[in-house]
């Protein structure tokens, strides 16, 4: 396989199927780092957006405060 025909998507498949081949294929393509990074960031943002659109934010705050020990809550209210 020539390096010109080896794409970032081939590398993503090869990371799972044939890691050695993937690493050999990406050596001359240092700018490919951005694709997996951007995909990871986009997926993380999508998960957070989905979770916070689904969960009741007031409930989340109340549950978080409820889980704080009473003495720590009292100390923070007095500060």
User: What is the tens place of the pLDDT at every residue in 27-42?
Assistant: 888 888 788 889 999 9
Residue with tokens 């020539």: 2
Q: What is the pTM of this model?
A: 0.51
Q: Write out pLDDT tens, residues 10-63.
A: 888 998 999 998 888 888 888 887 888 899 999 999 999 999 899 888 998 999
d(CA 77, CA 21): 58
61/74: higher pLDDT: 61
Residue 21, CB-side half-sphere exposure with 13 Å CA sphere: 15
Cβ atoms of 64 and 76 within 8 Å: the answer is no
Q: Give me the phi and psi of 69, to 5 degrees please.
A: -55, 145
């Amino acid at each position: 396989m020539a390096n010109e025909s080896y794409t970032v998507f081939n590398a993503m498949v090869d990371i799972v199927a044939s890691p050695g081949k993937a690493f050999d294929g990406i050596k001359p393509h240092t700018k490919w780092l951005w694709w997996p990074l951007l995909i990871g960031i986009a997926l993380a943002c999508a998960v957070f957006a989905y979770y916070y659109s689904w969960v009741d934010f007031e409930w989340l705050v109340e549950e978080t405060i409820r889980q704080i020990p009473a003495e720590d809550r009292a100390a923070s209210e007095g500060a």
